[in-house]
Structure 1
Amino acid sequence: MIVIPHPGEANHNGGQLQFGPDGRLYAAIGDGGGAGDPHENAQNKHNLLGKLLRIDPRKRGSKRYESPHGNPFVGRAGRNEIYALGLRNPFRFSFDRRRILIGDVGQDRWEEVDFEGHRALRGANFGWDHFEGDHRFNYPGDNEAPRPKHRYRPPIFEYGHTASNCESAGGCAIIGGYVVRDPALHSLRGRYLYADAYKGQLRSFVPHRHHGRRDTALGVHVDHPSSFGEGAQGRIYVTSLDGPVYRLVHK
Structure 2
Amino acid sequence: MTTLTAEHETVLVEDRTLAPRPTLAETLSQTVSMAWRSTKKMRRNPEQFFDVTIQPLLFTAMFAYIFGGAISGSVADYLPVIIPGILAQTALTACMATGIQLREDMDKGVFDRFKSLPIARIAPLAGPALADLLRYGTAATLTILVGLAMGYRPGGGVLGVLAGWALTIVAGWSLAWIFTYLGTIARSAQAVQGISMMIMFPLTFLSNAFVPESTLPGWLQAFVKVNPVSHVVSAVRDLINDGNVTGEVAWALLGCAVVVAIFAPLAVRSYARKM
TM-score, normalised on structure 1? 0.27
Higher relative contact order (CA 8 A, sep 6+): 2
TM-score, normalised on structure 2? 0.25
